[in-house]
Structure 1
Amino acid sequence: MAVRVQQGIVSQDPMALYIQAILKKNTVNVEGAYERLRSSLDSFDQAPISTIHSFCYSVLTRFPFETGHVLTAQIIPDVEVVLNSLAEDFWRSYISQQHSYVVAAAIELELTPQRLVQFWKRVLSQHGLKMEHELSKEVAEQQIKEALGKLKVLEREWVRILEDLYKWFEQNKNFLKKEWGDGEKISLIFDIVGRAVMGEAFTPQAIKLLAELRPEKIVGAVDKRFKAKTTPVPESLKFVQYVVESQYQLGRGLYIISLAYLKERLPEFKERSGILVYDDLLLRVAEALEGDRGKDLIRQLRGIYKAALVDEFQDTDPLQYEVLKRIFEPAKGSLERYLILIGDPKQSIYSFRGADVFTYLKAAKQVSKVFTLTRNWRSTPDLLRAINTLFGTHSNPFVFPEIGYLPIFAGDPGSKRRLVISGSGEEPGLEIWFYKGEDEKPLTKSEARARIYEHVASEVTRLLNSGASIDHTPISAGHIAILVRENQQAKRMQKVLSRYNVPSVLHTTESVFSYT
Structure 2
Amino acid sequence: MTDFATQITNPDLTLSGGLLVEASAGTGKTYNIQNVYLRLVAIFGLRVQNILVVTFTEAATQELRDRLRQILRDCERFLAEQTGDLPKGTLDQQVLEQVRERIEPILSLPLPDPDAEADRDAELRRRIRRALADFDSAAIFTIHGFCNRVLARYAFECGTDPDAELIPETTEIIADACRDWWRRETYGDAARAARVPFENIGELIKLVASAAGKPDADILPKMPEHERDAAMAAFARVVGEALQMCARAEGTNDDSRAIEKGLQEFATRQPATNTFNHLALRRLAFLIDKLKDKTLYWKNPDPKAKPAKIKLEGRLPGASETAKDALRAIYADMAETAQNLIAAVSQSVRDRSAITYDAMLTRVRDALRDSQAGDRLRQVLREEFKAALIDEFQDTDPVQYETFRAIFLEAKLPLLLVGDPKQAIYGFRSGDIFTYYGAKAAVGDGKVFSLTRNFRSEPPVVDAVNAFFHGDENDRTFKNKHITYEAVQANGVKTEKSLTIGGPTKADPKPMKLWFYPSASMPGQASPVALQMLQDVADEVVRLLNDPSTRIGVRRVCPSDIAILVHTHAEAARFQRALAARGVNAVRKATDNVFDSQEAKGIALVMTAMLETGNMRTVRSALCSGLLPCPIADIRGFNSSESSDATRDVGENKSRIPNTLEGWVVLFKSAGERWRRHSFIEAFRELADSVGMFAHLAGSSSADAAERIAAVQHLIELAHQAAAKGKLGPTALLRWFVRQTDEAAQEKDESFNMRPS
Q: Which residue of the partner structure matches residue 401 of structure 1?
A: 481
Equivalent residue runs for 1:51-90 within 5 Å: 51-71=142-162, 73-90=164-181
1:52–1:85: structure 2 CA closer, same or farther, 3 Å change rule?
A: same
Check conservation: 1:207, 1:244, Cα contact below 8 A.
Answer: no
Equivalent residue runs for 1:135-154 within 5 Å: 135-137=220-222, 140=223, 143-145=224-226
Equivalent residue runs for 1:31-180 within 5 Å: 31-40=122-131, 43-44=134-135, 46-71=137-162, 73-96=164-187, 100=191, 102-106=192-196, 112-131=200-219, 135-137=220-222, 140=223, 143-145=224-226
Equivalent residue runs for 1:365-404 within 5 Å: 365-367=441-443, 369-395=447-473, 396-404=476-484
Secondary structure in 1 matching 2:166: strand
Kindly provide the CA deviation profile for residues 427-477 of structure 1, in whole angstroms up to 9, marking residues without a partner as x.
Answer: 44532332426xx56451545777656655544443333333333244434
**1:289 and 2:359 matched:** no
The whole-number CA distance in structure 1 between the counterparts of 2:176 and 2:360 is 21
The whole-number CA distance in structure 2 between the counterparts of 1:404 and 1:490 is 33
The whole-number CA distance in structure 1 between the counterparts of 2:481 and 2:99 is 33
The more displaced of 415-424 and 356-365 is 415-424
**1:361 and 2:437 matched:** yes
Amino acid at match of 2:458: T
The whole-number CA distance in structure 2 between the counterparts of 1:345 and 1:36 is 35
The whole-number CA distance in structure 1 between the counterparts of 2:133 and 2:564 is 39
Kindly provide the CA deviation profile for residues 11-34 of structure 1, in whole angstroms up to 9, marking residues without a partner as x.
Answer: 896774354345556486344334
Q: Percent identity?
A: 28
Following TM superposition, by how much is the alpha carbon of 1:321 offset from its aligned partner in structure 2, in angstroms? 0.8
1:362–1:81: structure 2 CA closer, same or farther, 3 Å change rule?
A: same
Q: Which residue of the partner structure matches residue 298 of structure 1?
A: 378
Amino acid at match of 2:470: G
Amino acid at match of 2:156: F
Kindly provide the CA deviation profile for residues 261-290 of structure 1, in whole angstroms up to 9, marking residues without a partner as x.
Answer: 225423222223444332111111212222
Following TM superposition, by how much is the alpha carbon of 1:410 offset from its aligned partner in structure 2, in angstroms? 1.4
The whole-number CA distance in structure 2 between the counterparts of 1:278 and 1:23 is 40
The whole-number CA distance in structure 1 between the counterparts of 2:491 and 2:375 is 45
Residue 420 (structure 1) aligned to one of 500, 518, 540: 500
Following TM superposition, by how much is the alpha carbon of 1:421 offset from its aligned partner in structure 2, in angstroms? 3.7
1:111–1:378: structure 2 CA closer, same or farther, 3 Å change rule?
A: same
Check conservation: 1:122, 1:352, Cα contact below 8 A.
Answer: no
Give unmatched runs, 5+ long, in structure 1.
153-174, 180-202, 225-242
Equivalent residue runs for 1:243-392 within 5 Å: 251=330, 254-291=333-370, 292-329=372-409, 331-332=411-412, 337-352=413-428, 354-367=430-443, 369-392=447-470
Check conservation: 2:425, 2:432, Cα contact below 8 A.
Answer: no
1:54–1:503: structure 2 CA closer, same or farther, 3 Å change rule?
A: same
Kindly provide the CA deviation profile for residues 165-190 of structure 1, in whole angstroms up to 9, marking residues without a partner as x.
Answer: xxxxxxxxxx99999xxxxxxxxxxx
The whole-number CA distance in structure 1 between the counterparts of 2:478 and 2:323 is 40
The whole-number CA distance in structure 2 between the counterparts of 1:324 and 1:449 is 49
Kindly provide the CA deviation profile for residues 143-165 of structure 1, in whole angstroms up to 9, marking residues without a partner as x.
Answer: 2145669999xxxxxxxxxxxxx
Following TM superposition, by how much is the alpha carbon of 1:320 offset from its aligned partner in structure 2, in angstroms? 0.8
Following TM superposition, by how much is the alpha carbon of 1:394 offset from its aligned partner in structure 2, in angstroms? 2.9
1:423–1:354: structure 2 CA closer, same or farther, 3 Å change rule?
A: closer
Secondary structure in 2 matching 1:398: coil
Secondary structure in 2 matching 1:372: strand
Equivalent residue runs for 1:501-516 within 5 Å: 501-502=584-585, 504=587, 506=589, 508=591, 514=600, 515=711
The whole-number CA distance in structure 2 between the counterparts of 1:404 and 1:246 is 35
TM-score by length of 2: 0.48
Alpha carbon RMSD of aligned pairs, Å?
Answer: 4.8
The whole-number CA distance in structure 2 between the counterparts of 1:449 and 1:78 is 41
Q: Greater relative contact order (Cα 8 A, min sep 6): structure 1 or 2?
A: 2
